Amino acid sequence: MKEWTREERYRTILEASDEEMAVLKEKVDGCPYRQKFHIQPTTGLLNDPNGFAYFNGEYHLFYQWFPLGPVHGIKHWYHVSSKDLVHWNDCGVGIIPSEYFESHGAFSGSGLAENDKLYLFYTGNTRNDKWERHPYQCLAIMDAEGKITKHPKAIVEELPEIYTDNFRDPKVFKENDKYYFVIGAERKEGNLGTIAVYESGDLINWNYKGEIKTSFFGNGFMWECPDYIKIDDKGVLIFSPQGLEANGDKYKNIFQSGYLIGNKIDFENLEFNHGEFRELDRGFDFYAPQTTKAPDGRYILVGWMGLPEIAYPTDENGWAHCLTIPRELSLKGDKLLQKPVRELASLRKNERVMSYALNNEETTIEDFKGNVYELECSFENIAGKRVGLKLRQGIKEETVFYYDLEEKKLVLDRSHSGKDFAVEYGRERKCPYEGKNLKLQIFIDTSSIEVFVNDGEEVFTARIFTAKDSSNISIFAHGKTDVNLKIWDLYLDEK
């Protein structure tokens, strides 16, 4: 693979010729792993979702983007919009880093619809001659016609003395007629991750308020991409702590994303009484999620289906990563449930319904071959050692999801899912489970799998790089189980 120099990583889209972009686009379009219904970059690298907001009758979503190749270079914001969370319009580049306060990239941030405008907050990344970093917090404003204008100077130019230059990703919201943003930070003392809070009366002038007081200390050196929402009179603080050590089946990825649930945060004293930290996703490829509130009151979450510092098989084709499908959030006790947004049902075509009574056997689903589909599967009256599914199955390939009754665990195994990558972090992901029944809703795209367990009690997300002709499904039981299946082809009709 090509070694990228610093100079090559810090060229913006404005410095690339039309010919260079056309050659790269042709390379990307020829990749066999391009997705059919996920948001993915036209070229180069996608990472964090940003600026997710409902504004002027549409959902607006931006993502971190380096246009010139599958590496983390100078970050732009790319803009897509949708009326239904399914069909996304390409709105082109939203923010190109061109000002002093973003000279080395427009890093992550968020959006707030207010006063008939969409206020976009982000971190401007800068470096001096010694390559020392200084973060600025920046503002751009989008009007109803979609024109984006940057505020002429940074809205926060200095960071509090107690933090390192790991200080980024403002998430803005309104609370009791005041505006706040939470921002991911690293303390100089002990290099501990934390979340700082800023307050404003007008979205332009901001004051440092302090730190959210949590009991989740000593965990991670930097808390990226914080988010705060309120559901059912509870406060939910979402963030991505870097540097958690693996603990049994937990925290197996290079970096994690999760949440704390407790009483709503009191923004006068910043106290937050909460329960344990829980991972949002049990799979291999999920990071830096962001939420927005739909007009009907639902909270919708989208994540980056990828991770930093990991090489992916699509790199050789000039692009990397996609976003997850949007998920509806709800609470069940002290647990966040995540279900695929209901609007995705509009993609369903050619429903097939099947039932099986398995007894120590494996059976291939007849008359089905597919690489892009949704599957609902319920295992009932489970008895024995193991029940599960083999997806994207071929002669040498399969992606396996199963319930191990002896270990009392759900398992996603991608050890035979095609091209290997990130193997130093393992080929399986597991979480505890116990029950006589198991309901799964699974979305398969060309190079991904998203498994939703029991209406969103658990989710497993993974990229898989499987051959096109690995397109069978089989179900198996080491013991007995009744299985009911529904399968739909998924087609993204142009609107």
Count CB atoms within 10 A of the CB of residue 224.
Answer: 24
Instruction: Give yes or no for a contact between 55 and 75, defined as CB atoms under 8 angstroms apart.
Output: no
DSSP class per residue in 73-128:
-S-EEEEEEESSSSS-EEEEEEE---SGGGTT-EEEEEEEEETTEEEEEEEEEEE-
Rounded distance between C-alpha atoms, residue 388 and residue 243, angstroms: 33
SS3 label, residue 105: coil
Rounded distance between C-alpha atoms, residue 296 and residue 478, angstroms: 44
- Per-residue tokens: 478: 């080491």
Catalytic residue ranges? 48
Q: H or E element: which one contains 24?
A: helix 18-29
DSSP class per residue in 179-194:
EEEEEEEEESGGG-EE
Which CA distances in Å does 160 have to 156, 242, 267, 315?
Answer: 10, 21, 18, 38
Rounded distance between C-alpha atoms, residue 493 and residue 155, angstroms: 42
Burial class, 113, CB count within 10 angstroms (exposed 0-12 / middle 13-18 / buried 19+)? middle
The amino acid at 378: S
- Per-residue tokens: 449: 């799998």
Return the beta strands (E) in 190-286 as ranges.
193-200, 206-211, 222-231, 234-242, 258-262, 278-279
Rounded distance between C-alpha atoms, residue 223 and residue 204, angstroms: 25
Rounded distance between C-alpha atoms, residue 14 and residue 11, angstroms: 8
Instruction: Give yes or no for a contact between 182 and 212, defined as CB atoms under 8 angstroms apart.
Output: yes
Closest by Cα among 442, 466, 337 to 388 = 442
